[in-house]
Structure 1
Amino acid sequence: MPTIDLNSDMGESFGRWELGDDETMLGVVTSANVACGFHAGDPEGILATAGAAHRNGVVIGAHPAYRDLAGFGRRYVDATPAELRGDVIYQIGALQGLARSVGATVRYVKPHGALYNTIAHDEKHAPAVISAIQDVDPSLAVLGLAGSPFVDKAREAGLTVYAEAFADRAYTPGGELVSRREPGAVLHDPQVVADRMVRLVETGTLEAIDGSAVRIEADSICVHSDSPGAVTIAQAVRAALESAGVEVRAFADAPSAA
């Protein structure tokens, strides 16, 4: 039976600003990329999300970002490698402490937004992120863009790496994500998204934005929690995968809830 992980970004509410339906989404996905405060999230909300994930048996991953709260971490920050390494260590450590307080464990790291896209091909910031993860805990897995040089570099450094595809994002013929600034970059039709993900698991390919087929080898599928209708999309994806005989399960084992 083919298997796939289903993940989503969570813990991104801030104070009175609520983003996403974490409680409902945690009943659908198998891994939660939890914000660490630099692009979104406050300690109380992050703690609540970590606790809810643990109760639902969902694996928790750190979702560190550039220090860009106003821009939701979607803007490039020209930090020095030393600055970025410190920022990533700080964020992972913060989430580890919050997770530990509810009996949970952080099992992997998935960089967020502009940081994620930058390190996919960057020669300066990618090594800083890899070094930060190694220094905090080399047993942490890494979730990165399928087919990107970052995935290969992290593996070469000795980290356990899982490749990721995006359910609700369009791809270029070269296997990269279409910029959010471009029309059609984000997909909103639950059935279209679900059908694409079944094709991905069954054939290892997706239809690129120009109609061509692009090969994507992925261990995990991400559904963005801040997209309109995110929960409906995630539910449609999971239902379609399971109907096609695909087992949806986390790539890392979660400890049982107390």
Structure 2
Amino acid sequence: ESTIFYKALEQDLLDVEFLTQSPCLVYIEHGRETITAHNNTTYTLSPGSAALLPAGLLLHSNYANTDGLLKAYLVFFGKDVITHFLRNQHKRSSPSRQAEGVCPIDGSESLNDFFRSIQRSASQGVASAEFLNVKLLELLHLLSFQNQEGFYSCLSAKGKATTGKRNIRRLVEDRQTLRLTVSDLAHLSGRSLSSFNRDFKAQFGMPPKQWLINQRMQVAHQRLLSSTASVGDIALELGYENSSHFIKLFKSRYGMTPTELRG
């Protein structure tokens, strides 16, 4: 359903994960916001700039109160408005390909004027479904003239290729995920095992299995030196039910057993 939200934030709002259920335009009036896509691509929005988010994207948003109050508009485009708009746009463009990510929108005085007009209308109590639809169609036409490349694929209902995919780097930053298997991580990330292996290696330069072993051994090394937990307990914390296998991996990495490390 189409709607326009206005948000004003004074406090930091970090690492907020959200799924776009419908195409959404984010317009920054004041402050700065960073949006991170599932493939770890980041988009920093400054005053006057905007981004169109296709339906079906799982994203992370970060706002730190370093540039003062964040003031932003969130414009959600309902199916009826999009259908009405696209029906008359065949001569201009045809959204034949799927949207792969966020569509940055160039800032302009026309875009600024549009949101100032929205603010004036709201202050005067002008509000109806008909008025909203007219304004959203006006906004879509404005955006299409300014940003044709990628705009239609972002707006089109076909832009759902990445539905459910989570940001891999954000996912594995949580130490709790170290005890999971590669298959578990693939499932949590919203990918098939082969897609997860491919995307992971592209970001980290190594297969996820090797990365997990490296990270587990680093954590084990820290835990062995900083705690009195038994070797068996530390192995279990990191997902190793077989202590002998854990000890073998540890020795391969550090050239000594966990017991030898502790002296």
TM-score with structure 1 setting the length: 0.22
Higher relative contact order (Cα pairs below 8 Å, separated by 6+ residues): 1
Q: Which has the larger radius of gyration?
A: 2
TM-score with structure 2 setting the length: 0.22
